[in-house]
Amino acid sequence: MATKATGAKLKRQDVYASNGSGAYTQITKAKNIQFDIQWETEDTSDLDLPGDWTTNETTVRTIQPVTFDLYFEPGNATHDEITGILNDFANDTLRFWQVQLRTGKARQFEGKVTQIGEAVQAKGLIMTRVTITPRGALTYATAA
């Protein structure tokens, strides 16, 4: 059975610890969290290749930039420019992040907020698109 996305949480480490341990705070009003993991490949085709097919070998794994939408609340401590995501962006802050699933399992990675875009519409709420650029490995853990 597939796991429902409702109940998933995006969390940010309160104080940076190089091993990702410590307390995490939920980023409220986040939705549409997108992260992709891939193997980089190298073309290893040579002149003796039979049948005109290429060959590739996997080299390293990478995490693509993680993006999410946020219903922006200026007074929210996890959003604002004093202690929130805007502060992380302004100060180039390295943190550990977790995407916690409702099953209690989490995907954890280290990264920095590298892009923030806002959509202000005549009708509706301010929607912010946030990009976190990961550094290093993605780990699977029990949610903090």
Q: What would the pLDDT profile of 68-109 be if each residue is shown by its tens digit?
A: 999 988 889 999 899 999 999 999 999 999 999 888 889 999
Going from N- to C-terminal start, the domains of the chain cover 9-37+64-142
Mean pLDDT for the stretch of residues 52-56: 82
Predicted TM-score (pTM) of the model is 0.82
Q: Whole-angstrom Cα distance, residue 124 to residue 95?
A: 31
The CATH architecture that domain 9-37+64-142 belongs to is Beta Barrel (2.40)
- Per-residue pLDDT at 142: 79
Q: Which amino acid is at 66?
A: V
Tell me if 116 sits within 8 A of 129, measured CB to CB: yes
